[in-house]
Structure 1
Amino acid sequence: MSTKLINPAGLYDGAPVGMSQAKVDLESRFVFVSGQVDWDRESRVRHATLEGQAEGAVEHLATVLNQAGSSLDDVLQLRVYVRGELADGMSQLVPVLARHFGAVRPALTGIGVASLASRDTLIEIEALAKLASGG
């Protein structure tokens, strides 16, 4: 299998824990994106609200996809992990997802979880995308 690792310089470095931001399978042309959170390079949360963290996670997702030769328009599936009861965050989360993915309408799973990678992290978004045409 021929693959390519994607690790944009502006995002936190996952190498110490043995992960990449994404891995591209060049044969199938799928881009497997690790869960994206609203962290700076030092793994610190940038926003305090679910909505702010969702925007930050989508921003990081776009960065990873662009480096891979893909985009938000090429997302096939999203998994959105939210700290706590998912229903409690829907009013903050739905506008963000609709703004970025409304026309794309990827397969979507939302999951409420007890914890995420840090105590201040409220949301994590992972994705499966395809390479853009010619990408």
Structure 2
Amino acid sequence: MRKQLVNPPQRYDGKPHGLSHAVIDTATGTVYISGQVDWDMNHQVSSHTVEGQLKNALNNLTIVLDASGSSVENLLNLRIYIRGEFGEFLEDIAPILAEFLADSRPALTGIGVASLASPETLVEIEATAALK
């Protein structure tokens, strides 16, 4: 099989939702990461600000990257979804992203949306990475 499912034990169980936190295409060494949000094991957010949820979603992204055998340095593409007008948050989130991504500098798209995985979810991050 050319597909490997990745579901780290530190993240909530995605099986009831029909998802894996990441899927590795073993033929190409590409890691496709599902949208990471600020959810604990019970699907509850721990922060009620965009900045706080972004930091927590990035932390969760790191957990999934590590479990996949990849890293922030190997990110190819990042899509950040924010509830509301993305541009209104850019000044506040840019320093967080710059610190997290450092020299990795993947292709990045920011998208403002009307809704996400739950009414309390303000930020979701989807990514593609290469294996180390």
Superposed displacement of residue 91, structure 1 = 1.9
Aligned residues: CA RMSD: 0.8
Q: Distance in 2 between matches of 1:95 and 1:54?
A: 11
Gaps of 5+ in 2: none
Structure-1 residue corresponding to 2:3: 3
Identity of aligned residues (%): 48
Q: CA deviation at 1:75?
A: 0.2
Q: Secondary structure at the match of 2:61?
A: helix
Match of 1:57 in 2: 57
For residues 42-121 of structure 1, what are the structure 2 equivalents within 5 Å? 42-121=42-121
Where 1:39 maps in the other structure, the secondary structure is coil
Give, in angstroms, the shift of residue 95 of structure 1. Answer: 1.1
Counterpart Cα distance in 1 of 2:74 and 2:93 = 20
For residues 128 and 88 of structure 1, what CA distance do their matches in structure 2 show?
25
Q: How many residues align?
A: 132
Once the two structures are TM-superposed, the CA of residue 92 in structure 1 deviates from its matched residue by 2.0
> Structure 2 length as normaliser, TM-score?
0.97
Which residue identity lines up with residue 17 of structure 1 in the other structure? H
Moved over 2 A (4+): none
1-structure distance, mates of 2:108, 2:7: 24
3-state secondary structure, aligned to 2:44: coil
The match for 1:13 is 13
Aligned-residue offset at 1:73: 0.8
Post-superposition CA distance 1:106-131 (Å, at most 9, x none): 00000000000011111000000000
> 2:125 corresponds to which residue?
125
